Amino acid sequence: MGPTYAGGSQPIIKDGYSILYLPDVNNRELIAAGESPVYYYIPNQVRMARKEGPDKGDYLFNMLRFAGTGGEGVIGGGGDVAGGVLTFSVTGDLPATTREQAEEQITEQVMGSTDSFWGAAGSRKPPLFRPAIIAASTTSVSNVAPTPRGFPAMPTGTRSTTGSDITYTGAPPAPGRRARDGDPAAGGDPAPTGGDNNLDPWYWLMQGQGAGSIDPSGTHAFSGLLGSYPAAICWAAFQGTASPLIVMQNYKLKVWSPVVTVKIHGHWEKIFTHFSAAASGRYLWASVDLKAEFNKMKTDGTITVETLVDTTLPDADKIAERLQERTDLVFSKFMEQAQKVIFDPPQPQVEAAQASSGGLTPWGAGVALKYRRDETQLDLTYEETSQFAYLQDHTISSSLAGMFDEMHADPEAERKYFQTVYLDDWPRRLARVLRPVAAWADGAVEFLSVQVGYPNTQGAINWEGHSFSGSDGNDGTWKFQTAQKQASDVTNAPTGWTPDMTWVKRKVHLAEPPSDIQDPYHRIQIERNVIDLDPGPNGTLLNDTTLEVRADSAGRLAVGPIQLGVMLTDNSQVVEAVFEATDETGEPAGMPQVRFRWNHGDVDVDRTWAIFTGDPAFRPFYRYQVSVTVKGTLFEPGRAWSGGWVRTSGNGPIIVDIPRPDQPGVTVRSVPEDRIRGLRALAAPREGQLPAPAAPAAESAVNGTRGGPDASTVLRFRNYQV
C-alpha cells in the first residue's frame, strides 16, 4: 500500500547523515501473506551537493564577489557597483554504504518486534527498503538582508482586496513592492539602487526557490544576486565554520492510514467568525496558519473531532491519538469541506518568467476567506470510515556548513569556491587622447594629422584618423576609443603587440615658406613639406593614453627673437649676420645660409629663423658670422669689417655679438688714417684761393685703396705736388 505515520517514524543518524524511516501501512498483511515487510526512507536533512556523489568530489558551490567603478575606461559602465553572485546545490542523497548500514540497524530493530506496523517477527523474508513517495516538494532559502518579516510574514494593516500581502523572504518581490525594507523600488526593477551604487547594499534575490525534485536523492540548484553587505557576510561566513543560510525543503508525502473512522462536527458560522477575527488584515491564508487556527478551534470546542481505529489492532487508541495529533489526516479532511463553504483557492498571479523563483511557500499555496450567507448557516458534519490516503507535510532544514574542513586541509581549495571579479577589468575601453602642439601663429604649420591603429580578431590593423588645423588652436583634442581585446582573442597578432598597445602615426604638414623678399625679418627653411614623426609602415607602438602631435618634434631649429648686442646711432651703420646650420662639430650641415640685415630704422624689429628638417634626430646646432659697414660720404671714406664664425646651439632667443674692428680675427676693409689726413689737408683751401674741388681728391683717395700709388708716390694735383 504505502508508508504510514500511524506507527510513528524512526530517525537514524549514521556517519553524520540523518535518515527518517516509515513502515508500510499493511506490513501485518504482507507478513501474513509470506511477503517481505516494507519500510520507506526519506532524508531528514539537506546537505551541500558534490560533483561525484553525496560524499565525493568538489562541492557544487561558488561564491563570486564583484566590484567596479564603471568609469570612462569601462564600456557600458554606469557608476559604482559592488555585490556578489552565490550559486550552490543541495541534495538529500545518501552514500550507499551509509544507507546500507542504516537499513541493517532498522532490520535489527524490527526483526524481533511485534508492532502492528514496525514488527517483522515471523517474517520469512528479509525487509525491503524503498524511498518514500513524494507528491510535491517546495524549497526555500533564508534571507540575509535585514527584514522583520519572518518566513513567511503577514504585514499588519487594513485588509487588502487586490492581491496577496504575504511576503516570502528571499523570493522576488511582487511588482510595486519593496525589494527589501527601505526605499521603494520601481515596479519590475530587478535591482534597486542605493545612493550612487547601481545595486542596493542590502539587495537579495535568490533564484531557484519553489517547486523542487520529488526524488529524495535529487539535486536542487540555487543562484542568488546579492548586494555588497550580504555578499560580504556570506563571503566571510562560508569561509568560516558557520553558514549564514538555511535551506528548507517541504515534502508532501503520500501516506496512508489504517482503516479509520473520522468524525468532524461544528457550525460554519462560528468557524467563519473565528477565521475573520484572526485575519489581522491578511487576505490569503497559508496552510501553516490554517493548521494553527484549526487546532485552536479544536481546543475551544468550535470544532469537535473524533478518530476511531480498528479495535482489532493492538494499541488502537494510541494509533488513533497519533493520527489525530501528529498527522494531517483530520486537517486535510476538514479543508476538503471548508474549501467548499468558506474558502476560495487563490487565482495564480505568478509571471511565467519568475515561476522558477519560488512563488510558493514551503507550506503550499494559500486560500482566501469568503462569505456565503446561505452556506455558513449550515452545520459542519463529516463522518467517513476508510483507509485514507492523504498528503503529509514533512519539512526539513539545514545550514550549508561543511566546506571549512576541506579548505582548512587544502588551502588551494579556496580558489575553487571563492572568486573576485573586478568589473573595471572587462570590458575595457581602450582610449587615446591626442592633442596638437604647434606654433600656429607663425604660419609654418598648415595642419597636423594622426592615425591610431588597433588589430581586429584576425590580426589586421584597423586605422582611424584625424587632422588638427590652426583654427582649432592647441585646445582641440581628438579621442580614439575601441574595445580592448584579450590577447587570446587575436589570431596572428602583430609582433610586439599587447592588448593595451596601439599604433600611432603622426605627421606635420608644413605650409609653403614665405619668400625672402616678401618677409626679410622671418626666414623659414623646409627640407620636407610632410614630416613623418613616427616613421615606418605602422608608425610607433605605444601604450600611452595621452599623446601629443608636436610640430617641434619634426627635427626643428627655431631661433628667435634675434637681436643685436649694440645700438645703431644713425643710418650710416649697417649690420649683417649670416646664419648656418651645423653638426655637433661645427661643420656645415649642407643647408643654405640665411642672411639678416639691421639698419638704424629697424634695429628693434625682431628676426626669427626656423628650419624643419624632418629628422627627429636633428639637434639644433648652428653658427653665425657678423659683418659691420659704416657708410662713408663724398668726402669721408666708409669702413667695413667682418668677424669670425661664432658657434652656438639651442632653440630660442639670441643676442648677436657684434665684433669690434680691433678684435683678433676681425677682417677690416678701410683707408689708412695717414692717407685720410693727407687727403683732408689737400682738400683744405690756401690763403687767397677758392676751396679745391673734392671729387679728384676723393677719387685719388679711393684709388689709394684700390691698389694705386702708395704714400711715397709723388702725385700732382692742379700743378701742386702732393
Backbone CA torsion sign across 273, 277, 280, 281:
positive
Per-residue model confidence as pLDDT tens digits over 76-117: 777 888 999 999 999 989 999 999 999 999 999 999 888 889
- The pLDDT assigned to 377 comes to 59
CB neighbours of residue 187 within 10 Å: 10
DSSP class of 123: -
Q: In 57-131, where do the E strands start and end? A: 61-68, 81-91, 128-131
Element (H, E) at 386: strand 379-399
Pairing of strands 134-141, 210-211: antiparallel
CB 6 within 8 A of CB 322: yes
Question: How much is the average pLDDT of 368-390?
Answer: 69
DSSP 314-352: TTHHHHHHHHHHHSSHHHHHHHHHHHHHTEEPPPP---G
CB neighbours of residue 64 within 10 Å: 17
- What is the distance between the alpha carbons of residues 277 and 91, in angstroms, rounded to a whole number? 41
φ/ψ of 353, rounded to 5, equals: -70, -20
Q: Which grid cell sits at 251? A: 515534502
CB neighbours of residue 596 within 10 Å: 21
**Most confidently predicted of 132-146, 326-340, 569-583, 611-625:** 569-583
- What is the distance between the alpha carbons of residues 320 and 306, in angstroms, rounded to a whole number? 9
Band (pLDDT 50/70/90 cuts) for residue 66 is: very high
- What is the distance between the alpha carbons of residues 554 and 336, in angstroms, rounded to a whole number? 94
Backbone CA torsion sign across 601, 603, 605, 607:
positive
**Most confidently predicted of 40-49, 175-184, 614-623:** 40-49
Beta pairing partners, 549: 436
Per-residue model confidence as pLDDT tens digits over 638-685: 889 999 999 999 889 999 999 998 888 888 886 666 766 666 676 666
Per-residue model confidence as pLDDT tens digits over 115-143: 889 999 888 899 999 999 899 999 999 88
CA dihedral of 199, 205, 208, 210, whole degrees rounded to 10: -160
CA dist 189 → 184, 205, 206, 341, 386 (Å): 10, 12, 15, 39, 52
First and final CA of the chain: distance in angstroms?
163
Among candidates 579, 569, 574, which has minimal Cα distance to 648?
Answer: 579
Among candidates 463, 390, 460, which has minimal Cα distance to 432?
Answer: 463
Per-residue model confidence as pLDDT tens digits over 461-500: 999 999 999 887 777 899 999 999 999 999 999 999 999 9
Long-range contacts, 288-295 (Cβ 8 Å, 24+): 288/361, 288/363, 289/154, 290/331, 290/335, 290/367, 291/328, 291/331, 294/331, 294/334
Per-residue model confidence as pLDDT tens digits over 205-224: 999 998 888 888 889 999 99
φ/ψ of 162, rounded to 5, equals: -105, -15
DSSP class of 693: P
Q: Tally the C-alpha atoms within 13 A of residue 165's C-alpha that lie toward its C-beta.
A: 14
Among candidates 390, 327, 339, 396, which has minimal Cα distance to 365?
Answer: 339
Least confident of 153-162, 247-256, 505-514, 607-616: 153-162
- The pLDDT assigned to 162 comes to 38
Per-residue model confidence as pLDDT tens digits over 391-444: 888 888 888 766 667 766 777 778 888 899 988 888 888 999 999 988 888 777
Element (H, E) at 33: none
Q: Is 144 exposed, middle or buried (CB count within 10 Å of its CB: 0-12, 13-18, 19+)?
A: buried
Q: Is residue 115 helix, strand or coil? A: coil
CB 226 within 8 A of CB 203: yes
Over pLDDT 70: what percentage of the chain? Answer: 76
Average pLDDT, the chain: 79
Beta pairing partners, 206: 224
Band (pLDDT 50/70/90 cuts) for residue 525 is: confident
